[in-house]
């Protein structure tokens, strides 16, 4: 290997270590090593979309999906003022269903998630692994300590502009509207990101995705695409409402003064009811099974811990977007709010949210990945 290539490789690996911390903070060398290696392999596996399109051996279906993704990416830059960089201009074909797996954990009788902290990204309530077995091993350690734990697959994530995030086989076959939603959401994280404030970050990105998809479908969608996305959004809204209902009941139970054993019994009963109510909801959808994966492992607090995070401030951001009348001005206003301290930032957003503009809900990625 030439010295220049070797140097670039070393720099990439070091930078990947930083990205690992952005995915989920950690103090152990082993964790950083697997995360750095996973990020580096993802980057090196990706090659330009043009190369895939020029290759006569590229599957016709993949060729079409890459062309759609490229059109969405162009729209994001020209019409939504999202970053015009190299993100989503490469494609990586992975031999696994998810790009990584997040471990989320809570105490046995609490919905407050554990946090892992990193100087750049701040504190986050998940820890990411590129290997499912490694994620499950760490989950076992947490369960042995008495915590509730969920291991959820993640189809995509943002490195916040540190790297050229690629299109990945884990989400490239999403329906057009959902593919646009994901690309808009992840690019939005490159515009504004406040370390340690997931409510702010995810609500902002969710607002960008929703507004972007609405406009993109109006410009490029056909009736079938719009109907498919409307059904997807309606099911998502119903599922979120169901989870929020049980999250609130669990929270009230844990905050009550009843003995811990009574809380454990109530917890088990609530999760049993949640599963039953989901079956009723699924029947109302005509048997649509897209969220079955959520129930693939025994339910725990960790399944519900972060449900509200992606939607808390969406009404506030939608109000702000309508007030600013365009994405560039909206981003500038969001950056001004981001510069405030956390308490003031949330106070401003709560005041904006009082306008109560309608908003489509957005769920945690592990839920969206339940297909």
pLDDT in tens, 257-280: 999 999 999 999 999 999 999 999
- pLDDT in the model for residue 304: 93
| Cα–Cα dist 242/246, whole Å | 7
pLDDT digits (tens, 9 = 90+) for 95-119: 999 999 999 999 999 999 998 876 5
Instruction: Return the minimum-mean-pLDDT range out of 54-68, 132-146, 224-238, 304-318.
Output: 304-318
What single-letter DSSP state applies at residue 93?
-
pLDDT at 121: 60
Pairing relationship of beta strands 167-168 and 90-92 according to DSSP bridges: parallel
pLDDT of residue 10: 35
**Token code pair at residue 59:** 């599957």
Domain segments of the chain: what residues? Answer: 3-191
Q: What is the DSSP letter of 128?
A: E
> If pLDDT is split at 50, 70 and 90, which confidence band does 248 have?
very high
Q: In degrees to the nearest 10, what's the CA dihedral of 111, 354, 364, 179?
A: 180
How high does pLDDT run on average in the chain? 87
Banded pLDDT at 198 (limits 50, 70, 90): confident
Asked if residue 291 lies in contact with residue 370, where contact means CB atoms within 8 angstroms, the answer is yes
**Whether residue 24 has pLDDT greater than 80:** no
Average pLDDT of span 152-160: 90
Q: Is the pLDDT of residue 356 over 60?
A: no
Structure tokens belonging to residue 111? 């919905």
pLDDT of amino acid 122: 67
In the DSSP assignment, the letter for residue 57 is: T
The residue among 21 and 161 whose pLDDT is bigger is 161
Per-residue confidence (pLDDT) for residue 142, from 0 to 100: 97
**In angstroms, rounded to a whole number, what is the distance separating the alpha carbons of residues 243 and 307?**
7
CA distance 205 to 200: 9
Distance CA 152, CA 365 (A): 9
The confidence score (pLDDT) of residue 162 equals 86
Gyration radius from the chain CA atoms: 21
Could you give the CA distance from residue 43 to residue 148 in angstroms, rounded to a whole number?
33
* Helix extents (H) in the chain: 3-23, 29-45, 49-54, 60-80, 132-144, 176-188, 198-220, 223-255, 260-284, 301-304, 314-324, 327-338, 342-353, 365-368
Instruction: Count CB neighbours of 247 within 10 A.
Output: 21
Read off the pLDDT of each residue in 191-216 and give the average, rounded to a whole number: 94
Least reliable range by pLDDT among 120-124, 171-175, 293-297, 346-350 = 120-124
Which pLDDT score, from 0 to 100, does residue 362 have? Answer: 37
Q: pLDDT (tens digit, 9 = 90+) per residue, 283-310?
A: 999 999 999 999 988 999 999 987 766 6
Could you read off the pLDDT of 319-339 as tens digits, one per residue? 999 999 999 999 999 999 999
């Amino acid at each position: 290997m030439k010295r220049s290539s070797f140097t670039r490789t070393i720099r990439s690996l070091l930078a990947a270590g930083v990205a690992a911390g952005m995915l989920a903070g950690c103090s152990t060398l082993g964790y950083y090593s697997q995360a750095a290696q996973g990020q580096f392999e993802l980057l090196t596996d990706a090659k330009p979309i043009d190369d895939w399109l020029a290759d006569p051996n590229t599957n016709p279906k993949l060729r079409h999906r890459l062309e759609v993704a490229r059109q969405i990416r162009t729209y994001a830059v020209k019409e939504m003022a999202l970053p015009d960089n190299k993100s989503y201009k490469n494609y990586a074909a992975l031999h696994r269903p998810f790009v990584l797996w997040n471990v989320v954990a809570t105490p046995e009788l609490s919905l407050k998630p554990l946090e892992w902290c990193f100087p750049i990204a701040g504190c986050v309530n998940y820890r990411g692994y590129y290997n499912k077995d490694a994620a499950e091993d760490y989950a076992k350690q947490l369960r042995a300590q008495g915590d509730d734990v969920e291991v959820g697959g993640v189809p995509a994530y943002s490195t916040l502009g540190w790297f050229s995030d690629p299109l990945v086989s884990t989400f490239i076959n999403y329906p057009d509207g959902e593919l646009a939603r994901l690309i808009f959401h992840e690019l939005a994280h490159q515009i504004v990101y406040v370390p340690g404030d997931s409510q702010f970050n995810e609500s902002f990105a969710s607002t960008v995705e929703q507004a972007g998809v609405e406009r993109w479908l109006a410009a490029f969608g056909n009736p079938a695409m719009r109907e498919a996305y409307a059904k997807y959004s309606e099911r998502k809204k119903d599922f979120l409402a169901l989870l929020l209902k049980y999250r609130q009941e669990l929270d009230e139970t844990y905050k009550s003064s009843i003995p811990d054993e009574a809380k454990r019994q109530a917890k088990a009963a609530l999760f049993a009811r949640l599963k039953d109510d989901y079956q009723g909801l699924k029947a109302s959808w005509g048997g649509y099974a897209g969220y079955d994966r959520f129930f693939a492992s025994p339910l725990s607090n960790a399944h519900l811990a972060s449900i509200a995070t992606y939607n808390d401030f969406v009404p506030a951001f939608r109000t702000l977007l309508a007030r600013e009348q365009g994405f560039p001005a909206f981003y500038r206003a969001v950056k001004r709010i981001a510069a405030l301290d956390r308490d003031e930032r949330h106070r401003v957003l709560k005041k904006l949210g009082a306008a109560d503009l309608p908003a489509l809900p957005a769920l945690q990625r592990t839920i969206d990945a339940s297909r």
